[in-house]
Amino acid sequence: ARNVVKRFGKPANFMRASSLVHAVSNVSLSVRRGETLAIVGESGCGKSTLGRVLLRLLEPTSGQVFYEGTEITALGQREMRRLRRELQIIFQDPFASLNPRMSVRQILAEPIRLHRVATGRAVDERVDDLMRTVGLRSDWADRYAHEFSGGQRQRIGIARALAGGPKLIVGDEPVSALDVSIQAQVVNLLGELKQDFGLTLLIVAHDLAVIRHMSDRVAVMYLGEVVELASADNVYEAPLHPYTAALLQAIPVSNPSARGQRQLLQGDVPSPTAPPSGCRFHTRCPHARPRCTEDHPQLETAGDGRQVACHFWREIQSAGVSVPARGE
């Protein structure tokens, strides 16, 4: 993605104020073949929108998206359709994303036919294969989606994404609608499928807990911007951006005695129709200084292939403060 911008709504005119939502603001990043890149941030940060723009399920307002050297934002409908089989999505809500009037066999046969993976009788065999691949019994394919549990439905959603033989799958919070006890199973399934089929995964998530063991790199988004991008190890062990540190603090801890020391992120996310001036995080940042309200920090390279958008990451890091210290 190069300088991707996505806005929704209408700009101001003499009749009314702007209702423009700045969903994604000038994001540039790359997803490497074979990796799992997680995009993490609170709701409204633009992470799902970015995921859709990268697949060109949404048109960017400006900027470019490239896939294996081809600018897909410049492709016509027909060329895009041909690429579609390689670029798939798994939706957040497995209850809403499967047509209740279709059997699972019909749901899975559709992309198989569309992408000409198989024809005739071979379609049914392919459906049966897909069912087994995602850990479901093939003879269940003739049932309807409502006959399955949430976790099973998400497996069907994953089977549908696999049907055309994809290379890149975007998972839009693929487990956040599921019971916690089921989440790990689906995360593990995604990990296995990634290995077996040589997939590249982009996983959108609203917290850092779920994706901890599956991501190679993590991009942290705040109000439409990437504020930190680094290897998962760096993000979890030594975050550079105060917002990343705050998200880490929000991960539930199992040790009750450690709970009292946690400082959760204060305040609400400001409206994306009117993002704060300067650093967009300054209204909630425990390290904010006067400069932060005026001067917008750019994503800069911080060594070790890491990127961070904060004026004071060096000072914050050398002070050994990796967690918010508001009130101290």
**Interacting residues toward ligand SF4 by CB under 6 A:** 242, 279, 281-282, 285, 287-288, 292, 297, 310-312
The CA angle 119-149-116, to the nearest 5 degrees, is 15
Among 48, 152, 244, 307, binds Mg ion (CB under 5 A): 48
Of the candidate spans 40-48, 98-106, 177-185, 213-221, the one that interacts with Mg ion by CB under 5 A turns out to be 40-48
Dihedrals phi, psi of 23, to nearest 5 degrees: -70, -45
Other Cβ atoms within 10 Å of 322 Cβ, number: 17
DSSP state of 293: G
Q: Which does 48 bind (CB under 5 to 8 A by kind): Mg ion, ligand SF4, none?
A: Mg ion
- Write out the two tokens for 278: 């300067």
Q: Which does 279 bind (CB under 5 to 8 A by kind): ligand SF4, Mg ion, none?
A: ligand SF4
Rounded Cα–Cα distance for residues 320 and 161 (Å): 44
Q: Which does 281 bind (CB under 5 to 8 A by kind): Mg ion, ligand SF4, none?
A: ligand SF4
Other Cβ atoms within 10 Å of 140 Cβ, number: 15
Nearer to ligand SF4, 202 or 292 (CB): 292
Q: Which does 285 bind (CB under 5 to 8 A by kind): Mg ion, ligand SF4, none?
A: ligand SF4
- Write out the two tokens for 249: 């603090």
Q: Rule CB under 5 A: which of 126-185 touch Mg ion? A: none
Going by C-alpha positions, the residue among 229, 246, 248 that lies closest to residue 288 is 246
Rounded Cα–Cα distance for residues 270 and 197 (Å): 41
The nearest distance, CB 203 to Mg ion, in angstroms, is 12
Q: Which residue number places its CB atom closest to Mg ion?
A: 48
Q: According to the binding rule CB under 5 A, does residue 249 interact with Mg ion?
A: no
Torsion of CA 162, 166, 172, 175, to 10 degrees: 40
Q: Which does 287 bind (CB under 5 to 8 A by kind): Mg ion, ligand SF4, none?
A: ligand SF4
* Binding positions for Mg ion, rule: CB under 5 A: 48
